Each structure stands twice: as C-alpha cells, then as structure tokens.
Structure 1
Amino acid sequence: MTDLDASTPGQRLTDEEKLTLKTGAFGAVFLVANADPGMLALFRESFAAAGAMADASGLVQEALTRGPLPELRRESAVEIESVTLPALRRAVEILTEKAPREVSVYRAVVLAAADRAARAHNGVSSAEAEVIARVRGVLGVDATGR
C-alpha cells in the first residue's frame, strides 16, 4: 500500500475521476483568467495557480499534478463554465464517496489556485471576485471558508 492509499483505505481514484478533479481545478483557474483577460495576465495567473496545486497533498496532489491535462476550450467563459462547474460538483461527490478527508483539501486547493490567479495581476477585479464566488458556491464553501 502506498502513502496515497493510506489516506483512503481501499479507495483509489480512476483515471477518469482524477481527470474530473483536474478539470474542475484547472477550469476554475481559466474562469478567473478569462474574467480579466490579457496575455501577460494569463501567464502570471497560470503560474501563480500552479503553485497552489503543487502545494496540495495526498490524493488531491496526485490527481492535480500527474497525468494528462484536461482539454478545456477557452473561447468563452460560458464554454469553460459549462464544463468546469459540473466538474467541480462531481469532484466533490467523488471525494465525498471515496476519500472524505480529501474534500476539504480539494476545496482549499481550488480556491487557493483561483485566488492566487486573481491576485497575480493587478489584484482581484470585481469580475474575478464574482467568478471566485461562483466557484466557492459550487464547492459548497461559504464566504468564511466553511
């Protein structure tokens, strides 16, 4: 049994489930980046968000940092949102079922990545704050972080 298995006895995530977690997390960052677009901003935001994902631990870190990247079309916020929000919901469901102790880790990492992305370029704009609030709501986290 590996260290990753120890936190979730008998419950491993499938590749599809890992991709769902990754799609939700990366999608949340893309939503923030698209809320206040700009090429330099996108680079800074992506780099900042990557740090939050690398700081994850256990099963969440494995899901977010290994394997293929999700395929997220970035033409419009509506397209990204139509994939991201359901992926975030499903990710919480997967973790609740298979690794309940990891739910809070996933929520924290996604919100930290979104927040770092927003703060990376000229602070958090009102559009970015609205996106983060939507992500927070889908994750089931209130404004106080609970």
Structure 2
Amino acid sequence: MTDYTDDERKTLRDAGFGAMMLVSQADPGFFAMFSESMAGAKAMAAAPAELRDLFKGGGLPSVPKGGAAEVESTVLGQLQQAVQILQTKSPQDVQAYKDVVIAACDQVAEAKGGVQDTETAMIAKVKAAVGA
C-alpha cells in the first residue's frame, strides 16, 4: 500500500468527489442529486482496492467555497494535483484513478434523465484536468 500524507489523501479524495459534484451541478435538480450521488458512489466502490480505500476513508469530502467558477477552478486544480501525486508516489495507479473518476462522472450524468450537454461539457473539463 502506498504511503500518502494526510494532505495527499485529502487531495485524491476531494478531487474525485469534487469531479462528481461538478457534473451533478452542471444539470441541477434537488431530487436528481440523490440518484446521481448513488451512481457515482457505485463507480468509486468498484475501484481497485487501494483507491477504493482512499475514497472510503477520511469522513466527508471538503466542498470548495466560492461561486460556481471558483469551485470549478478549485476542483479541476485538485484533479491535476491528484494525478501529479499518483505519478510521483504510485504511477501504477494513475490510469485506474483516471478511469474511476471518469466512470463516476459518466454515471452521475446518466443517473437522471439522460446526459445533458452541460454535463458532457463538464465531463470534458474533468477529462482534460486528469489528462484523459
């Protein structure tokens, strides 16, 4: 198991959950939020064991503060940092992390009423941030 600092664990975790949040907020709806959260959580639960443990531990993820553009910028920056952390400490997990985050975002988008253009655009930004 890779030895991450607490800050690195937090970044990896917050970035993954933040990406799902961005996609969910791209097509807002109070009731949709619940089904989208469950869909994204299922994708994260299917991650390889070490990544799954990162996503499960540490309590609730931090939610960035600020307006929509600031939150988006923060999360996309966290995703870039997460990939850098993995490239340094656990290069064998980089692709798995990217795959899990993208799968979770795809499932969030598909969870309620089909994928909207705004969700597709946000997923493209997430993919760019992780280098997929």
TM-score norm. by structure 2 comes to 0.94
Deviation >3 Å, runs of 4+: 73-76
- Could you tell me how far 1:73 is from its partner in structure 2? 4.1
Quick one: higher RCO (CA 8 Å, sep 6+), 1 or 2? 2
- Could you tell me how far 1:77 is from its partner in structure 2? 2.7
- Could you tell me how far 1:78 is from its partner in structure 2? 1.6
Partner in structure 2 of residue 66 of structure 1: 57
Partner in structure 2 of residue 8 of structure 1: none
Change (3 A) 1:78 1:38: same
Distance 1:73 1:138 in 2: 17
Letter in 1 for 2:23: V
% same residue = 42
Partner in structure 1 of residue 77 of structure 2: 86
SS state at 2:15 partner: helix
Taking the TM superposition and a 5 Å limit, the aligned residue runs for 1:13-52 are 13-52=4-43
Instruction: Check whether the contact 1:53–1:110 (CA below 8 A) recurs between aligned residues.
Output: yes
Partner in structure 2 of residue 128 of structure 1: 119
Distance 2:66 2:104 in 1: 21
| CA RMSD across the alignment | 1.4
Letter in 2 for 1:72: V
Q: Which has the larger radius of gyration?
A: 1
Gapped regions of structure 2 (runs ≥ 5): none
Partner in structure 2 of residue 144 of structure 1: none
Query: Would you tell me which structure has more helix in proportion to its own residues?
Result: 2
Aligned length: 132
